[in-house]
Amino acid sequence: MKQYQGYLIDLDGTMYQGNQKIDGAAEFIHYLNEHEIPHLFVTNNSTKEPEQVADKLHTMGVEANSDEVVTSALATAEFIADKDPGATVYMLGGSGLRTALTEHGLKLKDDEFVDYVVIGLDEAVTYDKLATATLAVRNGAKFISTNKDVSIPKERGFMPGNGAITSVVSVSTGVDPIFIGKPEPIIMNKALDILSLDKKNVAMIGDLYDTDILSGINIDIDTIHVQTGVTTKEELTEKDIPPTYTFADLNEVIAELEGAD
């Protein structure tokens, strides 16, 4: 396997599975830190702040700092602030999205007369929230969604994801949103900018083909699939563009890297 100068790394299914550790995850990050190889954790989760993500990684024995975490909430806030500083926003979502938007100087409003509608995963979503978002889009607000994941893994099973919530407003208004998170290039290009490395020397690591692996393919970087989450090795044979590599877990990736030293 090629030696890379930097890595973009998925979380759920790659670093951990819900609240369970994944064998090899902590060891892989330790290997990167020991060899001073830069890396970022890239997540579609918009509900958590980077500090909260880093704290969860710590509970799994994974070395992580908040400045190594790129969330779809951060990428969304930066996307809007770059285009329209100080814009007004009606949002659905959690504290991670709220904090990211306000810290980027955007003004949150609780009505349908805004510049942007931003939808992130909102586990307390109501008809009234969706109605306000719908009216705002109909009034001409630009429509942004943190990610298109239609389902997310929970202890009870796969639950409705942000893409499912977003679809209510999209279907009602006939307006398709701009999606920010994986597999879209926006979040990935933000992460590449932070790494400041030539993308031919960066690889994306993840378990889910339709988000993690496609996100790498969509920005033309190499991809490393790990068989510790959703997409199986057998399912990869049905894909038009396979990942650059696939491994049982991150222990195998470490072995490959050590063998190439």
55 is in an annotated binding site: no
pLDDT tens string 124-180: 999 999 999 999 999 999 999 999 988 877 667 778 899 999 999 999 999 999 999
Separation of alpha carbons 123 and 234, rounded Å: 33
Q: What is the largest CA-CA distance in the chain?
A: 59
261 is in an annotated binding site: no
Counting residues of the chain whose pLDDT is more than 90, the rounded percentage is: 91
Quick one: pLDDT at residue 155? Answer: 66
pTM of the complete model: 0.93
Count the helix, strand and coil residues of the chain and give each as a percent rounded to the nearest 5: 40, 20, 40
Radius of gyration of the chain (CA): 18
182 is in an annotated binding site: yes
67 is in an annotated binding site: no
Quick one: pLDDT at residue 17? Answer: 86
Establish whether the linkage from the previous residue to 185 is cis, with ω within 30° of 0: no
Question: With the CA atoms of 245, 249, 254 and 255 taken in that order, what torsion angle do they form, in degrees rounded to the nearest 10?
Answer: -80
Which domains, ranges and CATH numbers included, belong to the chain? Answer: 6-44+182-260 (3.40.50.1000), 79-179 (3.40.50.1000)
Q: What is the pLDDT along the chain (261 residues), one digit of tens a residue?
A: 899 999 999 999 999 988 889 999 999 999 999 999 999 999 999 999 999 999 999 999 999 999 999 999 999 999 999 999 999 999 999 999 999 999 999 999 999 999 999 999 999 999 999 999 999 999 999 999 999 988 877 667 778 899 999 999 999 999 999 999 999 999 999 999 999 999 999 999 999 999 999 999 999 999 999 999 889 999 999 999 999 999 999 999 999 998 866
Report, as residue numbers or ranges, the catalytic residues.
Answer: 10, 12
